[in-house]
Structure 1
Amino acid sequence: MVYGMRLLPAEEVAEVGEAPVVLKNGNAARVTMHILEGSREEIEAQLRQSIDAFFDFYPEI
């Protein structure tokens, strides 16, 4: 699992794209970036939902 977070003022963000990832075998992949907005509680709920979805896709982990 690759996960990262960076806090930036919303009014300073012009565009969000994909982030490149290079795998040990030399292949390239991209990680989709997301913008989360709301109160602290709303953002925490969105993060928990994203993590839960990951484990739904990969229950063997």
Structure 2
Amino acid sequence: MANLVLVYGMRLLPADELEAVEAAQLKLKNGNEAQVTMHILEGSRESIESQLRTSVEAFFDFYPEI
């Protein structure tokens, strides 16, 4: 299996300050480009942590071969 890289970013803001979220652009060594879909988790600290754990687990369910 190839060595993998997980691309992610996090920033915590007051919920009422966020206007829009756009995809992040990636440039690959082979000259291609790709996008990373950004996700929003909202709630208390405990709720966000729980949602993030669930989201990460679900993400890897998409790739059972890993």
Interval of TM-score (by shorter of Structure 1 and Structure 2): 0.7 to 0.9
The gaps in structure 1 that reach 5 residues or longer are: none
Percent identical among aligned pairs is 72
Runs of 4+ residues deviating >6 angstroms: none
Matched residue of 2:40: which SS?
coil
TM-score normalised per structure 1: 0.81
More relative contact order in 1 or in 2 (CA 8 Å, sep 6+)?
2
Matched residue of 1:25: which SS?
coil
TM-score normalised per structure 2: 0.77
1:9-59 Cα offsets, whole Å, 9 max, x none, are 222221111111111211111111111111111111111111111211112
- Report which of the two has the higher share of helix: 1
Count of residues in Structure 1 that have an aligned counterpart in Structure 2: 61
Distance in 1, matches of 2:32 and 2:22, equals: 19
The gaps in structure 2 that reach 5 residues or longer are: 1-5
* Number of the residue aligned with 2:47: 42
RMSD: 1.3
* Number of the residue aligned with 1:32: 37
* Number of the residue aligned with 1:18: 23
Matched residue of 1:30: which SS?
strand
